[in-house]
Amino acid sequence: MKIILFLILIIFLINDCQGLKKGTTFGSDPNSDSAKCNDIKDLNVAWYYNWDKKPTCNAGIPGVEFIPTIWGSGSLPIGNLPNGSEWLIGFNEPNYNNQANLTPKQAADLWPQLEATGRKLVAPGVADCGQQLGGGCTYSTLDWYSQFLGNCSKCRIDAVSLHLYYCNADDMMNKINSLYQLTKKPVWLTEFACNSPASKESVVTFAQALLPRLENSTQVGRYSWFIPYCGGCGAGDLLYSSLYNDQSGNKNLTPIGQYYSNFQSNNGGGNGNGNGNGSDSGSDETGSSSNLIKSTLTFTLILILILLLF
């Protein structure tokens, strides 16, 4: 009996220490399934997605959730979805004409097909256009979502999704806050990185400023760094933001990859399922309180374990 209780407490402690927020966006990879699985596992994430309905790692990774995506209208009808997640992500960058390219009304008309799966739904991943439209961007983030919600007032939406590529943590948190204030839904940052950074070191500095704030924000449900590997990228693109130097599966991490892998997701502000309450997106106070509660709980469990064993 003591052995069983011991194992239960160990499992509880492991789950308590592992956060749900930190993930990765992991797309096509020409290498073996084991290499792809290793690359995802070595980032120490709780979840990943790949813009597809089928997982990148066919063998599966213990403790890592794969969340399927309905990329666009071409991904419908949905058909069978893999087990292992209660979530489903909708339409990739509908406000870009070279991506899902859906007007808010078109997306709203298609949404009941996602609702029919019975899964929790993450609304489309809209990519921020910057200061003005252009370059294939047809709607600003807030304009697209405002019209989508207007056309989908009775739709079931459990979280909203956003793609951001900037090198300023304050700017990113402000954009997350703006989307949260509009939708009153937890924000999943399903693509983000520092685009066109000055150096590899500056990307790490950016991540050091941003990741703790994502963890501590109750407005953020989950987040997912992109890109894992950018072999054809130059310094003016996402080269310095790549997490890996290659796709070998041998843990050949870049400086930002090492930082991202080592960064511990503790769900300081949200719970990974996106049930935020809309408090200050930049404050560390919520995260500190949550960490204190978790530390107290962990200490209590250890004390119970000692009493059971002795």
- pLDDT tens for each residue of the chain, 310 residues long: 455 444 434 434 444 445 799 999 987 666 678 999 999 999 999 999 999 999 999 999 999 999 999 999 999 999 999 999 999 999 999 999 999 999 999 999 999 999 999 999 999 999 999 878 988 999 999 999 999 999 999 999 999 999 999 999 999 999 999 999 999 999 999 999 999 898 999 999 999 999 999 999 999 999 999 999 988 787 778 889 999 999 889 999 999 999 999 999 875 555 556 555 554 444 333 333 333 334 444 445 455 545 555 5
pLDDT at 215: 98
pLDDT at 130: 82
DSSP string, the chain: -HHHHHHHHHHHHHHHHS-SSEEEE-----S-HHHHHHHHHTTT-SEEE-SSSS-S-TT--TT-EE--EE-SGGG-S-----SS-SEEEE-B-TTBTTTT---HHHHHHHHHHHHTT-SEEEEEEEEP--SS-BTTB-S-HHHHHHHHHHH-TT---SEEEEEEE-S-HHHHHHHHHHHHHHH-SPEEEEEEE--S-S-HHHHHHHHHHHHHHHHH-TTEEEEEE--S--TT--TTTTGGG-SBS-SSSS--B-HHHHHHHHPPP--SSS-SS-------TT-SHHHHHHHHHHHHHHHHHHHHHHHHH-
pLDDT at 290: 37
pLDDT at 280: 43
pLDDT at 2: 52
pLDDT at 213: 98
